[in-house]
């Protein structure tokens, strides 16, 4: 297992990618443990995830990475389309036709990578009006973490915040070695 030394946060994308590849089997085992064997309620698990998320997020500046804005097409819902269309002085129908498309999963997403609204220094040019998917990413603050843990394993090698929260959860909640039976 490659783990964080002294729980120092890792923000280097190449290092995160390498560690996540190396720890892939371990991460899937931990996800299975969280999903099926961890003896905590969803509410208790969500509280721990929130605590770890707050700790990590307070130490990582998303602007130092910006990978999600450069490499992910954010989903948009009808409310996002109406808001962005008004901002662009377009009708929602025209915005939907010209600025969005359906991805491989059938989800409506903004056109273009990197995001057309990505400004200098990885700052969002429409931060106050950004889509809900952008506000919520990387979805660590949503409730019912246990049911969404598969997406965390998928994002552990992509987002420094997810990587470090996942690593902290493994350190805090990971399976303990079985005690040897006395003979």
Residue 181 has pLDDT above 60, yes or no: no
Averaged pLDDT, 116-143: 94
Mean pLDDT of the chain: 91
| Euclidean distance between CA atoms 54 and 144, whole angstroms | 17
Residue 3 has pLDDT above 70, yes or no: no
Encode pLDDT of 7-16 as tens digits: 689 999 999 9
Q: DSSP strand E in 32-180: where?
A: 100-102, 108-110
Q: Which single residue is written with the structure tokens 């389309």?
A: 81
3-class secondary-structure state, position 108 = strand
Is 34:149 a contact under the CB 8 Å cutoff?
Answer: yes
pLDDT digits (tens, 9 = 90+) for 93-114: 999 999 999 999 999 999 999 9
Check whether 48 has a pLDDT greater than 50: yes
Of residues 64, 49, 46, the one with CA closest to residue 10: 64
Instruction: Judge whether residue 63 has pLDDT over 60.
Output: yes
130-179: pLDDT as tens digits: 999 999 999 999 999 999 999 999 999 999 999 999 999 999 998 654 44
pLDDT of residue 174: 83
pLDDT for 45 equals 97
**Residue 31: pLDDT over 60:** yes
Q: What is the pLDDT of residue 5?
A: 39
Cis before 8 (ω within 30): no
3-state secondary structure 43-73: HHHHHHHHHHHHHHHCCCCHHHCCHHHHHCC
Bridge partners of residue 118, in order along the sequence:
124
Bridge partners (DSSP) of residue 124 are 118
């Amino acid at each position: 297992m490659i783990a964080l030394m002294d729980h120092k946060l890792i923000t280097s994308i190449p290092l995160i990618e390498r560690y996540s590849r190396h720890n892939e089997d371990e991460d899937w085992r931990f996800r299975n443990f969280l999903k099926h064997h961890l003896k905590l309620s969803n509410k208790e698990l969500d509280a721990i995830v929130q605590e770890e998320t707050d700790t990590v997020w307070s130490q990582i500046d998303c602007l130092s990475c910006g990978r999600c804005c450069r490499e992910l097409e954010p989903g948009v819902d009808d409310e996002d389309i109406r808001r962005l269309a008004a901002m662009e002085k377009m009708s929602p129908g025209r915005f939907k036709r010209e600025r969005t498309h359906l991805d491989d999963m059938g989800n409506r997403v903004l056109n273009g990578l990197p995001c057309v609204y990505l400004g200098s220094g990885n700052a969002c040019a429409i931060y106050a009006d950004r889509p809900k998917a952008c506000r919520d990413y990387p979805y660590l603050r949503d409730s019912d973490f246990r049911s969404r843990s598969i997406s965390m394993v998928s994002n552990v090698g992509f987002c420094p915040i997810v990587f470090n929260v996942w690593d902290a959860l493994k350190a805090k909640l990971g399976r303990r070695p079985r005690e040897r039976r006395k003979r």
